[in-house]
């Protein structure tokens, strides 16, 4: 079992930066693929980024490539999403997610993730 808690959201002007954190409980955190998703009002949840257990392999949505960076700290059981050059269209609730234990593929569909946090709001003003 994994419990996830996101933090770091807030209001920022376009062009600014935020760093989201996802704190995980559970002994198997270090072995799990972790991902970030987001959901804007009236839209479906969409993939943002994913990272494998070692941090050596990452995947990004085209809309955030070059602006967002996903990373993880195994000692702290935490995954981060550094978001730079934010745009108003990045406004959404951001969710941290964990894949089932033993699943090592970096997938971009929400159905492949078994555990979810409660979400943190990111609002980018123009």
Q: Residue 30: what pLDDT?
A: 77
- Give the model confidence (pLDDT) of 24-37 as tens digits: 997 777 789 999 99
E strand intervals along the chain: 3-7, 10-13, 18-25, 34-39, 46-51, 58-60, 68-73, 78-83, 92-98, 115-116, 120-125
> CA nearest 36: which of 96, 116, 111?
96
- Residue 47 binned pLDDT confidence (cut-offs 50, 70, 90): very high
Which of the pair, 85 or 2, is modelled with greater confidence? 85
Average pLDDT over residues 15-22: 98
Q: Residue 27: what pLDDT?
A: 74
- Give the model confidence (pLDDT) of 62-113 as tens digits: 999 999 999 999 899 999 999 999 999 999 999 999 999 888 899 999 999 9
Give the SS3 label for residue 20: strand
Whether residue 50 contacts residue 35, with contact meaning beta carbons closer than 8 Å, is answered with yes
The span from the CA of 97 to the CA of 106, in Å, is 12
Q: Residue 29: what pLDDT?
A: 77
């Amino acid at each position: 079992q994994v419990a996830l808690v996101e933090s770091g959201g807030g209001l920022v002007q376009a062009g600014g930066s935020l760093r989201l954190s996802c704190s995980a409980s559970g002994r198997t955190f270090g072995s799990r693929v972790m991902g970030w998703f987001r959901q804007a009002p009236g839209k479906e949840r969409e993939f943002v980024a994913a990272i494998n257990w070692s941090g050596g392999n990452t995947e990004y949505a085209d809309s955030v490539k070059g602006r967002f960076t996903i990373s993880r700290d195994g000692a702290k059981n935490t995954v981060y999403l550094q978001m730079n050059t934010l745009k108003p269209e990045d406004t959404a609730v951001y969710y941290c997610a964990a894949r089932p234990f033993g699943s090592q593929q970096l997938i971009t569909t929400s159905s492949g993730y078994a555990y979810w946090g409660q979400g943190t709001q990111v609002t980018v003003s123009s």
